[in-house]
Copies of this chain bind each other. A is one copy, B any other.
Amino acid sequence: MRKYGVADTTFSRVDMGKEAIRVISKEDPEAQIVRYTVPGIKDLPAAAKRLLDAGCDGVITLGWVGRTQLDKYSYIAASVGLIFVQIMTSKHVMDVTVHEDETNEERLAQVAIDRARKHALNLVRLVRDGPNSLTPLAGKGLRQGYEDAGSLD
């Protein structure tokens, strides 16, 4: 049976973990889902690593980043960490990140939910359906949180 990890934070202002769980349980109803909540983005790599240690086939992390330059530096560190968790374990960790300053506050919740849902679906595709499941969409300019940019062809 497939097992998915969902790691989210108390720093986030939107419950993206709940959205990710909804999508995964709808798309892959027989799978087991394990949730792990940590304070902030710098805690997500450890959560993801522990979820993979515990047998998850893939993980989605749901991070929220503040407005300051210091927050952005933390984002770099967390991103590097999440990538290393993946290459140490050879498993996918979908790194969903919302930046508090990427759009206005009204739209931010929508962006967060859309991004969480689309990447939860991406995770199921990669874990259950494998390396070619997204290939028909390669180069199509897909976006999460916003409208697709589309292909330049």
Binding site for B on A (CB under 8 A): 8-18, 34-39, 42-43, 45-47, 49-51, 53, 68-70, 72-88, 90-95, 99, 102, 105, 108-109, 112, 119, 122, 126, 131-135, 137-144, 149-153
Contact = CB atoms under 8 A, between A and B. Distances in A.
Contact of A87 (B34, B46, B126, B152): B46
Contacts of A87: 45-46, 49, 81, 84-85, 88
Contact of A13 (B39, B42, B150): B150
Given A9-B139, A36-B131, A46-B91, 15 more contacts: A10-B138, A11-B142, A11-B143, A13-B140, A13-B151, A14-B151, A14-B153, A15-B138, A37-B131, A37-B134, A38-B126, A39-B144, A42-B82, A70-B99, A80-B83
